[in-house]
């Protein structure tokens, strides 16, 4: 059955992974051909007037939407991975988590100076991973021209960390 809105394909799972959390499950988008097409088409619509050279996707759910988007728009796809997962020379960026730190990497030759980059991910919560990704792109001389998310948890204020960028979310949930 074809649904009219992208949010109709998202399944909300209460109390996962802990009590009080409303988990927004995207696997129900991925497992429905119409839902997946609608998600990728929604990202493409967000970019219809954007001049860019590369699609950068964050591990791992950003890959699920970034690769078909890049394919459809005939653009290269650049993965951003957790530290130690890429085989060639990398640049890395450390960022804070709620309890501790994490580090992400991309290949040192993946973005050339002056290239215009679009970043794709499934969800913005606190914005830390995406902010670190922007710093990686900029370290390599690239320019982040747009950041697109499938979903936004507005109650976590992640967009504040990305205030200097053009950020758009297909679905905005008011809570956390």
Q: How far is CA 147 from CA 12, 27, 33, 86, 170, in A?
A: 24, 21, 24, 23, 11
Catalytic, out of 4, 18, 89, 98: 98
Is 143 labeled as catalytic in the residue annotation? no
Can you tell me the distance from the alpha carbon of 174 to that of 30, in angstroms, rounded to the nearest whole number?
Answer: 23
Can you tell me the distance from the alpha carbon of 77 to that of 32, in angstroms, rounded to the nearest whole number?
Answer: 23
Is 61 labeled as catalytic in the residue annotation? yes
Catalytic, out of 59, 61, 131, 138: 61
12 - beta bridge partners?
Answer: 24
Catalytic residues: 61, 98
């Amino acid at each position: 059955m074809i649904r009219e809105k992208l949010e109709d394909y998202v399944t909300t799972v209460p109390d996962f992974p802990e009590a009080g959390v409303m988990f927004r499950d995207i696997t129900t988008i991925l497992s429905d051909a119409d839902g997946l097409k609608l998600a990728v088409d929604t990202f493409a619509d967000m970019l219809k007037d954007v001049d860019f050279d590369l699609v950068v996707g964050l591990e791992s759910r950003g890959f699920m939407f970034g690769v078909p988007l890049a394919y459809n728009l005939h653009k290269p796809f650049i993965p951003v991975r957790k530290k130690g997962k890429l085989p060639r020379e990398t640049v890395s960026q450390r960022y804070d988590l709620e309890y501790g730190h994490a580090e992400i990497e991309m290949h040192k030759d993946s973005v050339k100076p002056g290239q215009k980059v679009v970043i794709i991910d499934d969800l913005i919560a606190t914005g830390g991973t995406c902010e670190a990704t922007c710093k990686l792109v900029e370290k390599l001389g690239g320019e982040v021209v747009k950041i697109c998310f499938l979903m936004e948890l507005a109650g976590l204020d992640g967009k504040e960390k990305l205030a200097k960028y053009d950020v758009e979310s297909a679905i905005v949930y008011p809570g956390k």
